[in-house]
Structure 1
Amino acid sequence: MLLVVVLVTAWAAGSQRSGPDAGVSGPAGSTDAVRLGPDAGEDVAAYLARAAVVPDPGVPSPRLALVQFEAGLDPAAAASAVGTAQPLRAVVRVPFPRVQTALRDVDLQPAPPEAAFRAALTTAAGQAAQDATVAPAGTRRAAVASAEAAALGRPDCGCLVAVVVRVAPSEVPALRSRPGVRAVQVAPPGTARTRLAVSPLLPDQGLGRADGPVVGPVPDDGPVPPTG
């Protein structure tokens, strides 16, 4: 049966932030956040069409963009997917089937992309372990968080679902065509990292995918996989 679900944007956009660069900025002087990702309840096809538009393409200076992947990628594959774009933040999610897991938004360390992505998985694993510690013992919440921590602790975890990068508008077409990239949504000129909120399209959302054509998180109603 086709699952139709609704996106809870407030949780996804700002949950599990890590590092000193919390939040995002709009054009100079604005105090409003600039949000990248689908709107609540937005059809996936409509979002992909909207994301294909580059705001003010005649402004050549590099700007922030949300690169969303076709599937969860490991650090090496994610580094290959972003190419020469400068990665700044990673969105991490453990892909347990039919289990809602946390979106963990991690600022990247100044390092080669693959190494920075590996460090992001380590940071996310620590967050999940902390979640398991504070959850009531023996509860499903604790079990899911423990399973997340174990998965994220593996260096080859295919858990990178999106990356915020800095890229020049002229380089966006090449970035969109790279293997593993599903969509690239570019922020308006002048958007600052301190005002950027991201809520990416997840790999299992969309026509022909596990969650069908409407954007939304998977309910927490599946079995917790063994941590192995």
Structure 2
Amino acid sequence: MTAWVAGRQAIGPDDGGAPVSTDVVRLGPEPGEDVTAYLARAAAVPDPADPSERLALVQLDASLTPEAAAPAVGRTVALRAVVRVPFPRVQTALRDVDLQPAPPVAALRAALTTASAQARQDAVAGVPGTRRTALAAAEAAALARPDCACLVAAVVRLAPADVPGVRALPGVRAVQVAPPGTARSRLALSPLLPDQGPGRPDGPVVGPVPDDGPVPAGG
């Protein structure tokens, strides 16, 4: 068993000319945080009276294909996709990828292609014959398929007034909104995974994730 601490700082250009926060803003549950408590915390919008657009993490209810995930981001300005290959009982990498300015389905498919290239690089750089290298190769093969159900979250920009509508969209589990003025370069992403929570395979808290299954064969 390995401890799951999902999180990666998303480096990107700052947004606009408005004042920005200089502190890292974590979007997603803290390690060990109860999922129910996190979902309640994520339901709040910081300073909702401020109508200015801000960054938010849209977290999906299941690992989705680009076609299935597109409606969840279609009403927003989608900036980044968070990708993870859902191999059963195996901890795989979270990869956050900049989205191209394109229709949602095309942008999300391109994100899978970019994530596949990242995994392939990991496999090439790895030690031949090791489980980690084999897993990276299997991830690369899965992500190369345009219908890979591997999208788990997205970073978007939206106005507070639009948050309830996005939360109500099919496939959306949670939308956590960053404080006004938060820059993309200050985000640390740790999305709630679809299989985490009460009644889900990995249980009610964000913590240990099973990593005792076989490495799926690539191809």
Give the TM-score band, short-chain normalised.
over 0.9
> 1:67 aligned to 2:58?
yes
Specify the alignment match of 1:205 in structure 2. Answer: 196
Q: Is the 8 A contact 1:75 1:118 kept in 2?
A: yes
Alpha carbons of structure 1 residues 30 and 190: separation in structure 2 relative to 1, 3 Å: closer
Deviation at 1:6, TM superposition (A): 4.9
Alpha carbons of structure 1 residues 216 and 73: separation in structure 2 relative to 1, 3 Å: same
CA distance in structure 2 between the aligned counterparts of 1:52 and 1:29, rounded to whole angstroms: 23
Q: Is the 8 A contact 1:65 1:185 kept in 2?
A: yes
Q: Is the 8 A contact 1:37 1:200 kept in 2?
A: yes
Paired residue for 1:57, among 48, 53, 57? 48
Alignment of 1:6-85 (within 5 A): 6-9=3-6, 12-14=7-9, 21=12, 28=19, 30-85=21-76
Alignment of 1:170-181 (within 5 A): 170-181=161-172
Q: Is the 8 A contact 1:6 1:214 kept in 2?
A: no
TM-score by length of 2: 0.93
Deviation at 1:28, TM superposition (A): 3.1
Deviation at 1:217, TM superposition (A): 5.4
> Which runs of no fewer than 5 residues in structure 1 stay unpaired?
none
Percent identity, aligned pairs only? 71
Q: Which amino acid aligns with 1:143?
A: A
Alignment of 1:122-133 (within 5 A): 122-133=113-124
Deviations 1:142-173 (A, max 9, x none): 11001000000000001010000111111110
Paired residue for 1:144, among 100, 118, 135? 135
Alpha carbons of structure 1 residues 168 and 212: separation in structure 2 relative to 1, 3 Å: same
CA distance in structure 1 between the aligned counterparts of 2:181 and 2:128, rounded to whole angstroms: 46
Q: Is the 8 A contact 1:23 1:196 kept in 2?
A: no
Deviation at 1:77, TM superposition (A): 1.2
CA distance in structure 2 between the aligned counterparts of 1:137 and 1:227, rounded to whole angstroms: 14
CA distance in structure 2 between the aligned counterparts of 1:171 and 1:127, rounded to whole angstroms: 33
Deviation at 1:31, TM superposition (A): 2.1
TM-score by length of 1: 0.89
Paired residue for 2:107, among 96, 116, 119? 116
Paired residue for 1:163, among 150, 154, 157? 154
CA distance in structure 2 between the aligned counterparts of 1:33 and 1:69, rounded to whole angstroms: 23
Alpha carbons of structure 1 residues 198 and 155: separation in structure 2 relative to 1, 3 Å: same
> Which runs of no fewer than 5 residues in structure 2 stay unpaired?
none
Q: Which amino acid aligns with 2:161?
A: S
Which range is displaced more, 71-80 or 91-100? 71-80
